[in-house]
Structure 1
Amino acid sequence: MTDYYEVLGVERSASDEQIKKAYRKMSRKYHPDIAGPEYEDKFKEVNNAYEVLSDPDKKRMYDSGVDPNDPNASAGFSSAGFGDMGDIFGQFFGNAFGGGNQGPIPRTQPGRDSLATASIDLKTTVFGGTAQVTINTFGLCPECGGTGTANDEKPVTCPDCQGRGMRQKVVRSMLGQMMTTAPCERCEGHGTIIEHPCPKCQGHGRIRTSRKVGVSVPAGIDDNTRLRLAHQGEVGEGGGAAGDLYVDIRVKRDKQFTREGDDLHCWIQIPMSWAVLGHQLDIETFDGKQEIDIPEGCQPEQTVSLKGLGVAKVKRPQERGDLVAHFSVHIPTKLSNDERELITKFGKSHDKGKAQVKQSSRPAGERKGFFSKLKDALG
């Protein structure tokens, strides 16, 4: 059995006030929003300990050697397989059939998950980085630390339901008068009432807030990827543990590069003379300027690959794809008389005897596969 006194760091002879102060100190120390998500289990343990030691009946039961949080500590009809049926009958006939064991609703509830969108540039997908998102959600109340009470007060037992959280009342039906059980309207099913709520959060233990969250973006991430940040979402009622934050990644369009898998592609327009004679030039990359060689006789859409200058691979971040440069040859549309004369001389010399036009169903220079060659051989 868990030692709840040890969890709160108090002696067994501690007063209610000492237990309350110890709880406030421990809950703030181990709250996931303050200490970090790895302390969520410890935070729940502290809450469980205070829930038992702050309730006179539960504390009396615990001091007698029975843990109220242990479902096997007591047995009723449910242990004989009639628990579900007892709950059904209990809605109509109260405790007569064992249906009154629902208990009060805990004030501390887990928070819901949140969703946000982060836009990153293409360079961040290459090397990884950090994106900032702003979320509007519930955060822990800084005034009361999540307890919902003012001046460190303790909730008092509801006088209407005597702390049970449920009330019975008689209703008339076709079968006559019947007893039903419903949450207590005065305490809303909690079994306790906060007489002096925290003025900042009005007793909820949380407030609506806007905050920025840094999102670690792994290298090689794809567009429309969803990342999960544990315990960065909405803080629950009563200062309950925060839910998760999900961030959808959107990659903005880049002006210079297009991504295909792990490779980057760019298109470079070069003069016709460079394509004919070859040339050397510098291009911009995410790794700085890189020198590339345009081969002599370069054809339109011919490519040059720069190894290892593409996008990092998700499963092997130390490896990267390639940067593929596509060449687009610019054909002049207006020529001076001297240029036209030079081109005419070049054509007469270079294209002499090549007047016959070759016509094909495939682009010139396209390689055929094995089955295409076999088909051509067999006619």
Structure 2
Amino acid sequence: MTNTITTLETPKKNFDFIDSIRGIAMLGIVIEHSSAFWLLKYDSYSDKLIQAGYMQLFKFATIAFFLISGFLINHKFTEYTPLQYIRNRFKNTIGPWLFWIFIYLAISIGQRVFMFLKSGDSKNLPGDWYDATIGMFFRVIFHSNYWFILNFLICIAILLIFKKYIYKWVFGLILGFMSFFYSINLYYGWIPVEHTTALFGFVFYLWLGIFLNKNFAEVKHKLNKLSFTVIIIVNIVLFVLSTLETIHLMDLGMTDPFNTLRITNIFYSLGMFALLLKMGDMKGVQNTLNPRHTTFGIYLLHQILIDWILIEIVRPFNLDLNSISAVSVVGYSLLRFIFTYTLALLLAKLISKTKFKWSIGSR
């Protein structure tokens, strides 16, 4: 097994469909992170509906990643202790992860120094170097897309510690209630509501992926009895409900109305995963995106492209997103996605052909 997101070794059985789901899920991750809707607040219901709908469409991606990760590592749980697993993950997962986090930090500090040298104005330098280095390091880990790896490893460690209970329904129910707690917490704020800090909210989906692997023949048999029409209709209903819950959270003034662990989004994510599972091996996705070998690279690169490349490209235009329609923001968000995803994909493919391929988890 290689890295946790992309190059997890696909079992020799016919599980190639996992690569298709992986590729589509990463598309969704980049669509979400490159969106221009994040900080916008609208008064009209129609604008809120457009904003919430755009953000919701691919919101299944994060939970889908945990599901496929659990699916693919099921057979490893009898082989490693938590420490052994983490040690085995360092070269192909933690190493590249830390490398690109430090690249992110270096660019941030370098940008400030450059602005100081260019303007001579000391306000461009960080007033607190600890906050600009160590402080930013922890912010990047817990409050950016880089949270996934740390969260994933914590989830893995929990399952390995309790591995003798992994195939017990009661254990799964306990994990499910932990996830449900975060769904309720969105409305009450007992603990921080951001899904990036919900370190124990995603263990259930890793466990569920393991369960799906163990019972795959039965799950596939039952799924085959359902028509595409039924699954699509169910997902449309769940999409609408998820969008409406997002708007409700907006109206309540919640800080993270797009939270992945909204109860409606949990069901939407499971519904979309079922649809993708039924669709099976999508050769077009695999041939075009080569997700097994590029997804981890896209994951590691795209936030840097958004925060340090895309922002400089659009800066001269002085765009005031509050002054344009929500429909226009959709168009602008799609352009941001196309730029970010295309460049990240090309860079991942390029890096995979060099001696630096280790930096994206490639062998």
Q: TM-score range by the shorter chain?
A: under 0.3
Higher RCO (C-alpha under 8 Å, 6+ residues apart): 2
Which structure is larger by alpha-carbon Rg, 1 or 2? 1
Q: Which has the higher strand share?
A: 1
TM-score (norm 1): 0.23
Q: Which has the higher helix share?
A: 2
TM-score (norm 2): 0.24
